[in-house]
Amino acid sequence: MKKLLAFLILPACIFFYSSCGSGNDTQQEESTEEIVEDESVHTIDMSNTTKLDLNDYGYPIILNIPGGDEMSPEPIIDELDWGALEIRIGTNFQIQVTTGDGDAEQKKADIVNLQDIPYDFEYSVDDSDALLYSAKIAGTEMEPEFHFYFVVKEGAQIFEIEDIKGEGFDSLSVERMFDLATTTVIKGAN
């Protein structure tokens, strides 16, 4: 049921993000991608996106990011001391890319156990390589924050993509980041 709700929200997400993005001199996408999940098809709107090659930063991957027109802001890419990349395009697209173990179960345990105050978590995607969830301070009526974690694997190469923690994102923003993360490809992989 939670996945169905996420699929119903997708059209609003597509409309909301059709005006967000980044100017980048890479190719603009004008298509959709279909992801098959549990016998249902989830279509990702790839219009107003562009490809961002991270090979110059030591990551042999290509991300789809918002953008592709002259009105879109350029992505801001920060290299962190410990090797991760933070990619920001406006306030609604902010992701971190790093290498790692790609262990979604361990990530889920860390999410729950490393909190200073108790949170209630609700997972709309809870797979071996993906988490899409909301976190709300337990016992409050505060609005939840939304987050995602996605693993891209090809052989021994493992990359983790997630939203930048410490930033507050609404569900539509996180769903768009998650959807675009799922289209990431490792260069040289078939």
Return all residues near 20 (Cβ < 8 A) that are at least 6 apart: 48, 66, 72, 89, 90, 92, 93, 176
Rounded Cα distance between 75 and 66, Å, is 9
Q: What is the pLDDT of residues 100-154, one digit of tens each?
A: 999 999 999 998 887 788 889 999 999 999 999 999 989 898 899 999 999 999 9
Rounded Cα distance between 164 and 85, Å, is 10
**pLDDT exceeding 90 applies to what percent of the chain?**
56
Return all residues near 39 (Cβ < 8 A) that are at least 6 apart: none
**pLDDT band at 43, cuts 50/70/90?**
confident
Q: 77: domain CATH number? A: 3.40.1000
Range of the domain at 6: 2-186
Joined tokens for residue 32: 């959709």
Rounded Cα distance between 173 and 181, Å, is 12
Residue 117 has what pLDDT?
83
Residue 13 has what pLDDT?
40
Domains contained in the chain, number: 1
Rounded Cα distance between 101 and 104, Å, is 9
Q: What is the pLDDT of residues 6-25, one digit of tens each?
A: 433 433 343 333 444 433 34
Does residue 68 or residue 189 have the better pLDDT?
A: 68
Q: What is the pLDDT of residues 62-107, one digit of tens each?
A: 999 998 778 888 999 999 999 999 999 999 999 999 999 999 999 9
**pLDDT exceeding 70 applies to what percent of the chain?**
77
Rounded Cα distance between 159 and 103, Å, is 11
